[in-house]
Structure 1
Amino acid sequence: MLATLMQTLDSTIANVALPHMQGSMAASQDEITWVLTSYIVAAAIATPLTGWLADRFGVKRLLGFAIAGFTVASALCGLSNSLGEIVGSRLLQGIFGASLVPLSQSILLDINPRDRQGQAMAVWGMGVMVGPVLGPTLGGWLTDSYNWRWVFFINVPVGAFAFFGVSTFLPARDPARQTRFDMFGFATLALAIGALQAMLDRGEQLDWFSSLEIRIYALVAALSFAFFVVHTATHGPHTFFRYQLLKDRNFATGTFFIFVIGAVLYATRALLPPMLQSLMGYPVALTGLVTAPSGAGTMVAMLIAGRLLRRVDARALLLFGFVVSAFSLWQMMQYTIVLSPSDIVWPGVIQGFGLGFVFVPLSALTFSTLTPELRADGTATYSLMRNIGSSIGISVVQTFFTRGTQVSHANLAEHITPFDPAVQSMLSNGSPYNLGVLNQTITQQAQMIAYLNDFKMMFVATLLVIPLLVLIRPSSHSASAADASHAAMD
């Protein structure tokens, strides 16, 4: 749990500290963003390696090594004095941190009996879902109270404690299995993922496919993935990707759902802070305070869902969770340019509550029919799809926001004419200041419209995936067994 929380916190904790790092490193706006993108790209490329490394070295040994490496890399980030040093340290963080989430999930599934796996996924899910929400709040507090280096130093005691716990209390795992490494399969998949992440990270800055760089990224990603698919389909059972995973209907459907959840959750988290700070003038500390309660909603829902999963059909819990999440997005569609803190808090809490009811049963159902020998590869693929979904979701909403602002600004400006009495009064003294105020007002309204359109898009996407619940089969173990176990525990 600590390993999971440490890794997911680090995916967002550095965001609010970027301006402070930029001044300390004397870096440009484009250069400092590599502090974020280097971590994301490295983690995305290294995540598919988790299954093979677990087979080669054993799960317990690999998890301990990953925690130790991540902790040392965090300390190096805090000690960095140049842009090159911190980007290199963040690359190491991403490489070591890539396996923390899938390994912790695999271990929790293995050490808990089938009827307890729902509650185990609730505990694990708190780190996965709450970490990215609390990251900006904790990062802002550490940066304001101390300095940006503590955003990374905070991992050192947590990592040391997690390493001690894993090495001391984790039960001995199955012996390592010698498996042949498929270098071509890994290379093509890593190149495809790396190029896709680079395209998503740089696309908005470079106006997407009008840029030669973005077109090159897209071409490399498409060709590499095509080679990977053909290689996997034609080279038998010893390829890098275990295609047996796709034969499991629950796993295939579950990974698609987690892709959508990653897109909706992280896209919402990417929209709210800039909306509150740049559009409504919220300070960083208050922004963190009003967005953090959504994590509380997620934790409460996960605890409840973990208990209900042993009594209620998991698909019913999923339906409830998606409906609640859609309702929260509908509430966000009603936002106006003037919002009180409670207007932000309650939709966030409701969304967190709904996502908690989605995440726990989805994790349990996705792996309920998967054989134990496929779990390490399955959890790695599951985490990878969530991360890719979040990257695509953030890129899509940011692109639609930018273009929507431009379109709405043009539409609103069409109705501003010199014959309007309000405009005439502003033009009467000939002050350019008044025209600047008018343009700023139009821009604010255009941005608000663009934010609302993004919330509407995510609302529609959430509703569209609900019918796919029919593709998920109920868990193979009997409800009576779960009830008997629950009664015995009570």
Structure 2
Amino acid sequence: MNQPAVPATPPKPPAPPPPLEGGRLILATIAVALATFMNVLDTSIANVAIPTISGDLGVSVDEGTWVITVFAAANAVSIPLTGWLTQRFGQVRLFVASILSFVLASWLCGIAPSLPFLLIARVLQGAVAGPLIPLSQAILLGSWPKDKSSTALAFWAMTTTVGPIAGPALGGWITDSYNWSWIFYINIPVGLFAGFVTWNIYRNRESPTRKPPIDIVGLGLLIAWVASLQILLDKGKDLDWFNSPVIVGLGVVALVSFAFFLVWELTEPNPIVDLRLFGQRNFLGGTIAISVAYGVFFGNLVLLPQWMQEYLNYRSVDAGLVTAPLGVFAVILAPVVGRILPRSDARVIATCAFVLFAVVFFMRSKYVIEIDTFHLVLPTLLQGIPMALFFVPLTAIILAGQPPGRIPAAAGLSNFVRVFCGAVGTSIATNAWNNRTVLHHERLTEQASIDNPVFRQSIENTQTVLHLSEPSARALFDFQLTTQAAMMGLNDIFYISAIIFLAIIPLIWITKSTRGGGGGAAGAH
């Protein structure tokens, strides 16, 4: 009589390689951090060079802004694919391939003879950069001992914090002193070094791979809704938002494809993006908190130098230097946070960060048009403190309890939402500032009538003192009103930003208490 077949025991997943030690750990951390820095730097370094690039390539500035838009759209699409790509190719091979492809794309950007060539190179650059940030988190967490995982996240946070801050200042200096091509060429030596070191240290520490089916429908829907929504956000202001049929069309495509994407990915056995991660309390609360906060922070980071250049007559490089002190405390305190996090509740540290962010924005809401550089720099310098307390604890909360094999997917999805909220926050902040400026300008001009004796006397005094004609005096008056209205509108944005930071604190507290870092290094109690 035949015995019933005994079901085979599924093989256990291979044990992760042991942590690195000594000089290899330091060198590996530097290489991974440089690859991350190279990526985040390119999200902002080209912004200040757009007028110069447009002039050299013989296009308008509006056309030149596509250099920013196409990079952001391609990057936004590729980030959430990190988990699926890691399963198929392995995190080390994917990370090194992304670095070297980024180097190639940067070289193509630098030699671009025309705008279409540059845009194609920027699309490639944005697409291959997607896996770099999530994989850097996963690789660093696997390189450090579990009890030091918060220190690994601190080093990662230093690079992701400093990159967007250094970008405008570095881009302005390179463009003014050399040639705009060098904002892309500087990636070549950095990327080659990072790729060479990473491959030599990690090639024998590859993660397990398998070949999941390709979710072609999910991939197509992802590209459709992310790309259309990213372009809508970037070009909405230039095209007068929903008064433009182009923006309406993009909005419809984004909405419909996003709805189908949600339904498909939640029912697909092998989804291209694992949306089921949002079923975890820590991932849900931590991702929403870090993403909304980053959107508010990044939106303000874009507005501040723009206001200084338009209304305070700062050069682009000087405006970048005013925002640069933001990285001082962020770099100094990040290792400190890495040390105290294992003995602390990450939710308490993140809450302190949000409160301090609110304080900084309240300080900024008191700006006046006569403000000097010191009072511009002071809140920026202080903002580095909550920046140091911001990324590490929330990243630890998001990745808490994730097995090593799931970290790339979790990091990819959370970083996608964060980066996307940065684009949304920038668009909302820019549009809101414009609307508030118009509103304040209307209110300030209500009494500016020739029938008002005070207004008439003011115009006459200006004519007398400055020896101006009446039309010139009126033009000067309107310029002063516009400057004041812009200041008041910006103060409104700062004040609302402070309120938002306080309002999202409860999101932190829907998560479970975590101690010790992220990923497999920390459980959720």
Of residues 431, 444, 459 in structure 2, which corresponds to 1:423? 459
Please say if residues 149 and 516 of structure 2, whose CA atoms lie closer than 8 Å, have aligned partners that are also in contact.
no
**Residue-by-residue CA offset, 1:222-266 (whole Å, 9 max, x unaligned):** 11011111112333x322222331222111111101211221221
- Is the Cα contact below 8 Å between 2:50 and 2:61 reproduced in 1? no
Q: From the superposition, tell whether residues 23 and 172 of structure 1 become closer, same or farther in structure 2 (CA, over 3 Å).
A: same
* Aligned mates of 1:292, 1:232 — CA distance in 2: 41
| Residue of structure 2 in register with 1:207 after alignment | 240
Following the alignment from structure 1 to structure 2, what is the Cα–Cα distance between the partners of residues 377 and 191? 21
Q: Is 1:230 the counterpart of 2:263 in the alignment?
A: yes
Match of 2:495?
456
The 5 Å alignment of 1:376-387 reads 376-387=408-419
CA contact (8 A) 1:416 1:423 kept: no
Q: Which residue of 2 aligns with 1:281?
A: 313
Give the drift of 1:476. Answer: 6.8
In structure 2, the partner of 1:433 is 472
> What does residue 315 of structure 1 align with?
347
CA contact (8 A) 1:301 1:354 kept: no
What does residue 352 of structure 1 align with?
Answer: 384
- Corresponding residue number in structure 2 for 1:402: 434
In 1: Cα distance, 2:42 partner to 2:491 partner: 29
CA displacement at 1:338 relative to structure 2: 1.4
Alpha-carbon distance in structure 2 between the residues aligned to 1:192 and 1:343: 42
Tell me the residue number matched to 2:207. Answer: 174
1:55 aligns with 2:49: no
Partner of 1:306: 338
Change (3 A) 1:388 1:234: same
Which of 113, 121, 125 is the aligned partner of 2:157?
Answer: 125
Q: Which residue in the other structure is 1:3 paired with?
A: 35
Q: Which residue of 196, 202, 218 maps to 1:185? A: 218
Query: For 1:98-122, what per-residue CA distance to the aligned partner results, in whole angstroms no more than 9, with x for missing partners?
Result: 1111111111122223321111111
Q: Over residues 15-35 of structure 1, what are the superposed CA-to-partner deviations in whole Å (9 max), with x where a residue is unaligned?
A: 111111111000012210111
**Post-superposition shift, 1:463?**
0.8
**2: CA distance, partners of 1:168 / 1:67:** 14
Once the 2 structures are TM-superposed, how far is the Cα of residue 91 of structure 1 from its aligned partner? 0.7
Q: Cα distance, 1:70 vs. partner?
A: 0.2
The residue that corresponds to 1:78 in the other structure is: 110
Secondary structure of the 1:12 match is coil
Give the alignment's TM-score, normalised by structure 1. 0.95
CA distance in 2, matches of 1:477, 1:118: 6
Equivalent residue, structure 2, for 1:105 = 137
Moved more, 79-88 or 169-178: 169-178
Partner secondary structure for residue 343 of structure 2 = coil
Instruction: Give the partner amino acid of 2:249.
Output: I
State the distance in 2 between where 1:53 and 1:339 align: 50
Give, in whole Å, the separation in 1 of the partners of 2:199 and 2:516: 32
Q: By how many angstroms is 1:416 displaced?
A: 1.7
Alignment of 1:229-268 (within 5 A): 229-235=262-268, 237-268=269-300
Letter in 2 for 1:215: V
Change (3 A) 1:248 1:387: same
Aligned to 1:487: none
Structure 2 unaligned residues grouped into runs of 5+? 1-32
* Counterpart residue identity of residue 209, structure 1: F
For 1:304 and 1:443, the matched residues in 2 are separated by 44
Deviations 1:61-111 (A, max 9, x none): 011110000001101111111111111111110011111111111111222
Give the superposition deviation at 1:313: 1.4
What is the letter of the counterpart of residue 435 of structure 1? R
Match of 1:198 in 2: 231
Q: What is residue 485 of structure 1 aligned with on the other side?
A: none
State the 1:202 CA deviation: 1.0
CA contact (8 A) 1:77 1:90 kept: yes
Q: 1:8·1:128 contact (CA, 8 Å) conserved in 2?
A: yes
Deviation at residue 424 of structure 1 after TM alignment: 4.2
Shift of 1:138: 0.8
Query: Secondary structure of the equivalent of 2:335?
Result: helix
Alpha-carbon distance between aligned partners in 2 of 1:468 and 1:46, rounded to the nearest angstrom? 27
Is structure 2 residue 367 aligned with structure 1 residue 328? no
Give per-residue Cα distances to partners, 1:167-199, cap 9 Å, x unaligned: 111251223211111111111122111111011
Distance 2:390 2:48 in 1: 28
Conserved in 1, the CA contact under 8 Å of 2:289 and 2:508? no
Please tell me whether the aligned partners of residues 92 and 207 of structure 2 are also in contact (alpha carbons under 8 angstroms). Answer: no
- Does residue 217 of structure 1 match 2:250? yes
In the alignment, is residue 391 of structure 1 matched against residue 437 of structure 2? no
Higher helix share: 1
Mapped partners of 1:360, 1:49: distance in 2: 23
Q: CA deviation at 1:430?
A: 5.0
What secondary structure is seen at the aligned counterpart in 2 of 1:310? helix
Distance in 2 separating the partners of 1:37 and 1:125 = 25
Which piece of structure 1 moves more, 302-311 or 104-113? 104-113
Aligned to 1:145: 177
- Give the distance between the partners of 2:469 and 2:397, measured in 1 at CA: 67
Deviation larger for 54-63 or 367-376: 367-376
- Cα deviation for residue 154 of structure 1 reads 0.5
Deviation at 1:372, TM superposition (A): 2.1
The residue number in structure 2 matching 1:445 is 484
Deviation, structure 1 residue 427 = 6.8
1:475 pairs with 2:511:
no
- SS class of match (1:81): coil
- 2-side partners of 1:430 and 1:65: how far apart? 65
Do the aligned residues in 1 keep the contact of 2:154 with 2:335 (CA within 8 Å)?
yes
After superposition, give the CA deviation of every residue in 1:210-229 in whole Å (9 maximum; x if it has no partner).
21111111111111011111
Q: What's the TM-score, normalizing by structure 2? A: 0.88
| Distance (whole Å) between structure 2 residues aligned to residue 351 and residue 56 of structure 1 | 41
- Percent identity reads 36
Aligned residues: 478
Kindly provide the amino acid, as one letter, of the partner of residue 228 in structure 1: F
Tell me, yes or no, if the aligned pair for 1:38 and 1:87 is still in contact at 8 Å.
yes
Distance, in Å, in 2 between the alignment partners of 1:21 and 1:381 is 33
Q: Which has the greater radius of gyration? A: 2
Distance in 2 of aligned mates of 1:362 and 1:35? 31
SS for the counterpart of 1:179 is coil
Q: 2:98 maps to what in 1?
A: 66
Look up the SS of the partner of 1:175 in the other structure: coil
CA distance in 2, matches of 1:371, 1:20: 47
SS in 2 for 1:5: helix
Residue 439 of structure 2: SS of its match in structure 1?
helix
Partner Cα separation in structure 2 for residue 18 and residue 395 of structure 1: 18
